[in-house]
């Protein structure tokens, strides 16, 4: 049976609207004493409860509008969820992919098993930001959830796009193939458990945020690697600056105040022999520390670390035969 054949069935109206609730014809008084109205056109109904035909409603002073059964099913399904405060959540697979700066593809995915969730704060047609779901609620896990009931119209593109801007999940319960002659109990079972259902929006935003953060870290690593590689060029004084530290204090040993400034950077490991040292093998990079003059602080604060820079050194006064050097200038380098 296709969607069209279900919608076009000429079926009796088995449910009416009374005191703003959908009720079965079996649960009201006969005739006009039922006090019911058509769920679609709001015309007064008469309950026909004879012994030959199936009990049903008929419009009292107008022709039957033909749309009452679909509207009744839609309203009743929302009412069922509000009264029972639970629903079967569909299984769902979400996947998000993103390339890093080297063109390598990374993905983040999640699989949600079918499960029954209990609902709190269930509200029917509560206006939200830009859209109005059939039912809104909070799951037992504390997540906002929107529920749409499909009888004749699925969630349209505009509503789906507006809902996607929120931090809420949405499912759609498909009752389009449910016979309009279904009993109250059959509609309850179909709505809560057995009817087809799907996610309109799920964990896409969460997955996208996670993979974006991961790829950002990877891209930063690629950038640092590129800077280290560039640092290994023969340009003298080119290093990958990692950090700096300035401070002052008091030395009990020398009974005097002192100030210090240190640079921390990565440089290539020594690759040539010296007068007093014969190098046999070397490779890679090493972390080095150098004293730095306080007049360089303003330049340092303008850098985004790690940064590829060239350092300018000057000899500083020291005791003994070894000459010590202090960094007095920094020049950012393009990688």
Distance between CA atoms of 219 and 230, rounded to whole angstroms? 16
Whether 39 and 17 have beta carbons less than 8 Å apart is answered as yes
> What's the confidence (pLDDT) of residue 72?
94
Write out the two tokens for 305. 């670390």
In the three-class reduction of DSSP (H, G, I as helix; E, B as strand; rest coil), residue 230 is classed as helix
Residue-range domain boundaries for the chain: 3-66, 86-180+198-209, 232-332
> What's the confidence (pLDDT) of residue 202?
58
Q: For residue 168, which phi and psi values (nearest 5 degrees)?
A: -125, 145
pLDDT averaged over 10-residue windows placed end to end, the chain, 335 residues:
47 92 94 94 92 89 84 95 95 76 74 89 92 94 93 88 83 93 94 92 66 77 61 57 91 85 88 85 87 90 89 68 75 76
Give the global pTM. 0.57
What CATH fold (topology level) applies to the domain 232-332?
Answer: OB fold (Dihydrolipoamide Acetyltransferase, E2P) (2.40.50)
Secondary element (H or E) of residue 75: helix 68-84
Give the residue from 268, 251, 249 showing the smallest Cα distance to 259.
249
> What's the confidence (pLDDT) of residue 229?
52
Whether 287 and 266 have beta carbons less than 8 Å apart is answered as yes
Residue keyed to tokens 């509609």? 187
> What's the confidence (pLDDT) of residue 227?
60
Length of the chain in terms of residues written: 335
> What's the confidence (pLDDT) of residue 59?
92
């Amino acid at each position: 049976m296709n969607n069209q054949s279900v919608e076009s069935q000429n079926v009796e109206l088995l449910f009416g609207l009374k005191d703003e609730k959908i009720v079965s014809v079996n649960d009201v008084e006969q005739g006009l004493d039922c006090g019911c109205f058509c769920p679609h056109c709001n015309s007064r109904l008469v309950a026909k409860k004879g012994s030959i035909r199936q009990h049903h409603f008929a419009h009292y002073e107008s022709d039957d509008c033909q749309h009452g059964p679909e509207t009744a099913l839609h309203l009743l399904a929302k009412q069922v969820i509000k009264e029972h405060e639970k629903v079967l959540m569909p299984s769902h697979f979400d996947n998000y992919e993103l390339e890093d700066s080297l063109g390598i593809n990374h993905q983040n995915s999640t699989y949600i098993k079918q499960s029954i969730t209990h609902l709190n704060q269930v509200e029917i047609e509560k206006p939200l930001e830009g859209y109005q779901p059939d039912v809104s609620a909070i799951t037992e896990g504390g997540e906002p959830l929107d529920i749409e009931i499909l009888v004749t119209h699925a969630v349209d593109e505009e509503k789906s796009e507006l809902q996607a801007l929120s931090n809420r999940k949405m499912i759609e319960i498909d009752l389009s193939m449910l016979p309009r002659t279904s009993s109250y109990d059959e509609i309850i079972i179909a709505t809560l458990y057995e009817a087809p259902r799907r996610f309109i929006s799920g964990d896409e935003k969460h997955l996208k945020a996670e993979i974006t953060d991961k790829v950002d870290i990877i891209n930063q690593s690629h950038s640092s690697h590129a800077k280290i590689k560039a640092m290994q060029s023969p340009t003298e004084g080119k290093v990958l600056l990692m950090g700096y530290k300035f401070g002052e204090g008091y030395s009990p040993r020398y009974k005097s105040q002192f100030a210090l400034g240190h640079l921390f950077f990565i440089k290539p490991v020594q690759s040539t022999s010296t007068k007093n040292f014969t190098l046999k093998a070397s490779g890679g990079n090493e972390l080095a520390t150098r004293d730095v003059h306080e007049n360089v602080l303003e330049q340092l604060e303008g850098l985004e670390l790690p940064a590829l820079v060239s350092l300018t050194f000057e000899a500083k006064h020291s005791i003994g035969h070894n000459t010590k050097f202090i960094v007095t200038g920094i020049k950012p380098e393009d990688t």
